[in-house]
Amino acid sequence: MEIRWGIFAIIIGASLVTFIPRVLPLMVLSRLQKPDLAMRWLSYIPVAVMAALLGNELLMTDGEITPLKDNIELFAALPTFLIAIFTRSLLGTILVGVVTVMILRFLF
């Protein structure tokens, strides 16, 4: 139960390079009046980043497209999407998603 120097250096370095991109735009951009075009561009970021994260998470494994027959997560995404659309409940969506994957992994 200790902290090694090498690991400590990694943690400090990694925390700095994580902290800066997190705070810099918020600190600087919230001070500025941004042009309309920039605001509209920013308004697409949430949808774009979540779709990109999901696409990467659901479709790719180690830089290659996950074969369809092995991709349990992609099949589980279908009921998860439906629950999200019809209930609009975040908690319900997550629970249905997790239980679906658990069942599918148990079966296949």
Q: Site residues for other proteins, window 61-90 (CB under 8 A)?
A: 63-65, 73, 76-77, 80-81, 84-85, 88-90
Neighbours of 96 (CB within 10 A): 19
CB 61 within 8 A of CB 42: no
99 binding other proteins? (CB under 8 A): yes
Question: Least distance to other proteins from the beta carbon of 103, Å?
Answer: 8
C-alpha count within 13 angstroms, C-beta hemisphere, residue 87: 14
CB 83 within 8 A of CB 100: no
Q: Which is nearer to other proteins, 70 or 89 (CB)?
A: 89
E strand residue ranges, the chain: 60-61, 64-65
Q: Which is nearer to other proteins, 68 or 90 (CB)?
A: 90
Site string for other proteins, 26-65 (x = CB under 8 A): xxxxxx--x--x-xxxxxxxxxxxxxxxxxxxxxx--xxx
Question: Least distance to other proteins from the beta carbon of 70, Å?
Answer: 14
One DSSP character per residue, 90-102 reads: HHHHHHHHHHHHH
Number of residues that bind other proteins (CB under 8 A): 79
